[in-house]
Amino acid sequence: MADRWKPSVTVAAVIARAVDGVAQYLLVEEETPEGLRLNNPAGHLEPRESPQQGVVREALEETARVFTPDHLVGVYLSRFRRPARDEDVTYLRLAFGGTVGDADPARRLDDGIVRTLWMTLADVRASRDRHRSPLVLRCIEDHAAGRRYPLDAITTDPSVRAPLTLG
């Protein structure tokens, strides 16, 4: 039997604020095998957590801010070829919009995260060559276009949180 295809499931926070009537988006600058890249606060879904729990955890780890998701921006499937590691990876990303609190100065950013920064949509578009993936801009553009889906569009069955039993 051939190996089963297993895309990597990731969650991302699309966090916006308005400054003098101009939308700004919170991004992270992170170290990657391809060098310093910009990304939405995002990461892999972990065992026994819902996508909503995962995005709250990832946003906190990468921005030192408590993120409260209030809508789904979209679900994205993308393929990435990483020459530095000779990898071919497919990602299934669930992107959430919501609100964020102030940064906790006592909280350290996750390993590999250099800093957080607020950028306008024009700045995000202008920095395309530094994005971790094309999904960074796509998620922000979808948010800016008003894409909003209810959180209850995603259901996490209780079996996800149950202890694993074999046999």
**Which residue ranges form the domains of the chain, and what is each CATH number?**
15-147 (3.90.79.10)
SS3 content of the chain, % helix, strand, coil (to 5): 25, 45, 35
Burial 100-134 (b: 16+ CB within 10 A, else e): beeeeeeeebbeebeebeebebeebeeeeebbbbe
Could you tell me what percent of the chain has a pLDDT over 90? Answer: 83
Checking if the pLDDT of 164 tops 90, the result is no
- Residue 42: its pLDDT value, please? 97
Mean pLDDT of 73-81: 92
pLDDT attached to residue 1: 58
Q: CB of 14 within 8 A of CB of 23? A: no
In this prediction, residue 98 carries a pLDDT of: 98
For 13-51, write each residue's pLDDT tens digit.
Answer: 999 999 999 999 999 999 998 899 999 999 999 999 999
Quick check: 167 pLDDT over 70?
no
Top-confidence residue, 5 or 138: 138
| pLDDT of amino acid 82 | 74
Report the percentage of the chain scoring pLDDT > 70: 98
- Mean of the per-residue pLDDT values for the chain? 94
